[in-house]
Amino acid sequence: MRFNRVSIPKKSSGHQPGRASSKPNANPKPGASASGGAASGGGSGIGGARPDRGPVKAKTYVLASVSISTLLLLFFLFADRGLLQARRQKVQLQALQTEISKLAQETEALEDEVKKLQTDPAAAEKIAREELNLVGQGDVVLVLPPGWKEGVSTPSSAGSGPSKRTSAN
């Protein structure tokens, strides 16, 4: 469906101040004004009239829409506060929240240990023996040479019973 521009010629009562007079067009085009102005497309350029270029094609609207949509998409993806940056920040936030929860658990465990050390003498003695290498009165200290564990078999490495040797006679 195509629409044509329809204009009604204005009746003028003579010369209007501030307007240039122009000759009326002998063969007016359909849709052109009688004064040869903006809608005529063939005027002499007086009055800054723009020539009529016809209707805008649908391709032009589609191309403009796609171009603007692409630019907006790129802007929302790659801008400083775009979607990719928001995703990175969300991942970083989750990692920090995980770290905070681990540190909270560790803090709680350390607070429990402090309470035990303040109230239970056996816990303080255990720390003194294991971490500070202290001994109590009457304890016997055995000093073993380096590499002593290599010569000792543990129950898990010894197997289920004594090993039998077979000799060739």
How far CA 110 is from CA of 99, 106, 114, 119, 140, in Å, comes to 16, 6, 6, 14, 31
Q: Which pair of structure tokens corresponds to residue 90?
A: 């969300």
**pLDDT for 15:** 53
pLDDT in tens, 47-77: 567 777 778 788 899 999 999 999 998 888 8
Q: Which pair of structure tokens corresponds to residue 42?
A: 């063939």
Residue (of 76, 72, 55, 54) closest to 64 by Cα position: 72
Gap between the Cα atoms of 138 and 127, Å rounded: 18
Q: Which pair of structure tokens corresponds to residue 107?
A: 């803090």
Residues of the chain with pLDDT under 70: 1, 11-48, 156-169
Q: Please say whether the beta carbons of 14 and 24 come within 8 A.
A: no
Q: Could you tell me the pTM of the whole model? A: 0.40
Q: Please say whether the beta carbons of 41 and 51 come within 8 A.
A: yes
**pLDDT for 169:** 45
Q: How much of the chain is helix, strand and coil, in % rounded to 5?
A: 45, 0, 55
